Amino acid sequence: MSESIRTPLGKVRGLGSAKKGVEHFIAQRATAVALLILTPWILISLIGAVRGGYDGAIAWIGEPINAALILVTIGAGVHHMRIGLQVVIEDYISKTSSKLSLLILNTFISVLVFVAAAVAVLKLAIA
């Protein structure tokens, strides 16, 4: 029964946050606001573009502003997804090696999804 003379603050010092919580919180909220604005725009625009058939959709994506906004929407969505999954992984996976592997996989897949979507949009926009 050895009692420590360290204060409660001394016992937890160095075990606290990594000082990234606020950064993730703000990024998650910023991407949510961006998606709140961009998602209705893209859905309404796509409905109009699809009514023009394949050629109408290609012409709509070929507009530089539309292609740019599609890429911004995809980027915001993928970033929002990556941050959200990172928080879930950090909170619920306790084994360090599994946590690290899943965090790396989360980032890798997010980048892969964005690159694939960007290539597809740019290919259609330039065609």
Please indicate, yes or no, if residue 13 is contained in any of the structural domains: no
pLDDT band at 24 (very low <50, low <70, confident <90, very high): confident
What average pLDDT is seen over the chain? 89
- Residue 99: give its domain's CATH number: 1.20.1300.10
Average pLDDT on 85-103 reads 94
pLDDT, position 22: 83
| Distance (Å) of CA 13 to CA 6, 17, 30, 96 | 11, 10, 31, 20
Domain of residue 68 covers: 22-126
- Please count the structural domains in the chain: 1
pLDDT band at 102 (very low <50, low <70, confident <90, very high): very high
pLDDT, position 8: 73
Average pLDDT on 41-50 reads 91
Please indicate, yes or no, if residue 71 is contained in any of the structural domains: yes
Please indicate, yes or no, if residue 42 is contained in any of the structural domains: yes
Nearest to 124 by CA among 42, 63, 76: 63
Please indicate, yes or no, if residue 28 is contained in any of the structural domains: yes
Please indicate, yes or no, if residue 106 is contained in any of the structural domains: yes
Please indicate, yes or no, if residue 35 is contained in any of the structural domains: yes
Average pLDDT on 27-44 reads 95
Please indicate, yes or no, if residue 9 is contained in any of the structural domains: no
Average pLDDT on 41-49 reads 92
What's the burial of 34, exposed, middle or buried (CB within 10 Å: 0-12/13-18/19+)? middle
Model confidence at 100: pLDDT above 60: yes
pLDDT, position 12: 66
Please indicate, yes or no, if residue 87 is contained in any of the structural domains: yes
Model confidence at 21: pLDDT above 90: no
Query: Which residue did the predictor score with more confidence, 125 or 19?
Result: 125
